[in-house]
Amino acid sequence: MSSSHPTSSELLVRLQALDQEAFHLLVLWASPLVSRWLQPLELSVADFDEVFQETFLSVHSKFDTYQQAPGVSFRQWLRTLVQHQAIELQRKRQQNLTDSQCAEIAKCLAHDDADYAENESDVRRSIWLACRVTEAQFSPSVWQAFWQTSVLSKSTAEVASSLGVSPVAVRKYKSRVLAALRAELAFWG
């Protein structure tokens, strides 16, 4: 994890290094959020697609600005990019976009994120992404110790025997993975 941004994940480090798989995972996680944020604007399909695409191009090209924004969650930063792209689209379509029209776009995109936690598919997607990113941080045996004890509910002794390690090692592996997974979930969730 990046020491300059304690809530960031290994995925952010990979994004900063322009890792395409990391960007693909980010798009999988964030696409439904961006789509939901754009819905209140009632854009045409073409405009929706343009704002959507430009948002992710901005994520890719302006990622360093997120790294320089301490205290801003990734979702807040992403929503700001969506808002900016929606306003830019409207400016292209309508030369004299007023401040009140910009404010209306911002208002449409600024709805409360309380519904996010209640949306089961968003929660599952965040868990899936957190697991993928966390798994990549550990060796297969460490991940299996966690997975088998925490998810498959196997006993520590059984997992230790199957992996050829001590029960103490299994508990230590599980603890390390859980700590990393908690940090990921705090970021993505």
Highest mean pLDDT among 9-18, 22-31, 66-75, 123-132: 22-31
The answer, as to whether pTM is greater than 0.85, is: no
Window from 103-107, 168-172, 179-183 with minimum mean pLDDT: 103-107
Task: Assess whether pLDDT exceeds 50 at residue 117.
Answer: no
Q: How far apart are CA 64 and CA 93, in angstroms?
A: 29
State residue 142's pLDDT score: 93
Both tokens of residue 9?
């994940």
Task: Assess whether pLDDT exceeds 60 at residue 114.
Answer: no
Give the mean model confidence (pLDDT) for residues 120-135: 73
Both tokens of residue 42?
């009632």
Hey, what domains does the chain have and what are their CATH numbers? 10-111 (1.10.1740.10), 139-188 (1.10.10)
Residue carrying structure tokens 């230790």:
160
Query: Residues 168, 159: contact at Cβ < 8 Å?
Result: no
More confident site: 124 or 131: 131
With H, G, I as helix, E, B as strand and everything else as coil, classify residue 136. Answer: coil
Query: Residues 131, 188: contact at Cβ < 8 Å?
Result: no
